[in-house]
Amino acid sequence: MATDEQDAIRQLFGEPGTPVPPVSVKDMKALWQEFHKTGRGTFLGMAYVRLLSPDSDCKAVAFRCMQLMMIERLSQFASRPFEITEGVFRVVAEIPLQYLEVGKPYSPSFNFDDFFAKVRTAEAGP
């Protein structure tokens, strides 16, 4: 891939291997709802940016929503149903993630067992 293309991808999706900043649950929910309403889960344009807080990191919000979509899709193969709850949003908004390298097979940058343990804790409340 040419250097110009790599630079463009980094600008859109973040530097591979670097941490994805935590985001607000409110911003995640707004983008998540729009993704589901429009069916455009992988496009981040000006129409979506208007949904987010002025100080939000648009790339981070979109990346975390895309990770949540992958979790949702992978959960279809689980033995128990997976519901997107407030606790799930809170965990996905803050769980340590790294931007992925474009063109490589998808592999979550977190442990699913840890993820579900954090969701159970988040749903139990403070």
Q: What percent of the chain has pLDDT over 70?
A: 75
Q: Is residue 54 part of a domain?
A: yes
Give the domain range for residue 37: 16-124
DSSP letter at 19 equals B
Q: How far is CA 9 from the centre of its chain?
A: 17
Convert the pLDDT of each residue in 51-93 to its tens digit: 889 999 988 998 898 888 888 887 777 666 678 889 999 999 9
Q: Is residue 71 part of a domain?
A: yes
Q: Is residue 62 part of a domain?
A: yes
> Above 70 in pLDDT, residue 109?
no
Domain count, the chain: 1
Q: Is residue 99 part of a domain?
A: yes
Q: Is residue 25 part of a domain?
A: yes
Q: What is the pTM of this model?
A: 0.80
Identify the pLDDT of residue 103.
72
The tokens for 75 are 């959960």
Side-chain half-sphere CA neighbours of 63 within 13 A: 31
CA-wise closest residue to 93 among 75, 78, 71: 71
Q: Is residue 7 part of a domain?
A: no
Q: Are 106 and 20 in contact (CB under 8 A)?
A: no
pLDDT band with cut points at 50, 70 and 90 for residue 44: low
pLDDT band with cut points at 50, 70 and 90 for residue 26: very high
Q: Is residue 87 part of a domain?
A: yes
User: Can you tell me the distance from the alpha carbon of 11 to that of 85, in angstroms, rounded to the nearest whole number?
Assistant: 31
Identify the pLDDT of residue 5.
67
Mean of pLDDT over the chain = 80
Identify the pLDDT of residue 21.
95
66 versus 41: which is more confidently predicted?
66
The neighbour count for residue 120, using CB atoms within 10 Å, is 11
Q: Is residue 9 part of a domain?
A: no
